[in-house]
Structure 1
Amino acid sequence: MIPLPAGCRVWIATGHTDMRRGMQGLALQVQEQLQRDPHAGDLYIFRGRRGDLAKILWHDGLGLSLYAKRLDRGKFIWPSASAGAVSISAAQMAYMLEGIDWRNPQSTWRPASAG
Structure 2
Amino acid sequence: MLSPTAWWIAIEPVDLRCGMDRLLATIAIQFGHDGAAGGAYVFRNRSGTRIKVVCADGSGVWMCVRRLREGRFVWPRSSDRVCEIDAQSFAWLCTGVDWHRLCARPLVGALV
- Tell me which interval the TM-score lies in, with the shorter structure as reference length: 0.7 to 0.9
| Map of 2:39 onto structure 1 | 42
Greater helix fraction, Structure 1 or Structure 2: 2
Flag structure 1 segments of 5+ consecutive residues without an equivalent. 107-115
How far has the Cα of 1:60 moved from its partner? 2.1
TM-score for the superposition, normalised by structure 1: 0.84
1:78-93 counterparts in 2 under 5 A? 78-81=75-78, 83-93=80-90
2:16 and 2:49 map into 1 onto residues whose CA distance is: 11
SS in structure 2 at match of 1:103: helix
TM-score for the superposition, normalised by structure 2: 0.86
1:31 and 1:47 map into 2 onto residues whose CA distance is: 17
Alpha-carbon displacement from aligned partner over 1:70-106 (angstroms, at most 9, x marks no partner): 0000101111125511100000000000111110129
Alpha-carbon displacement from aligned partner over 1:9-38 (angstroms, at most 9, x marks no partner): 100000111111110010000000011000
Aligned length: 103
TM-align CA RMSD: 1.6
Flag structure 2 segments of 5+ consecutive residues without an equivalent. 104-112
> Against the structure 1 CA distance between its residues 75 and 82, is the aligned structure 2 distance closer, same or farther, given a 3 Å change threshold?
farther
Check conservation: 1:15, 1:83, Cα contact below 8 A: no
2:2 and 2:17 map into 1 onto residues whose CA distance is: 25
After TM superposition, what 4+ stretches of structure 1 lie above 6 angstroms from structure 2? none
| Map of 1:22 onto structure 2 | 19
1:66 and 1:3 map into 2 onto residues whose CA distance is: 10
1:39 and 1:24 map into 2 onto residues whose CA distance is: 11
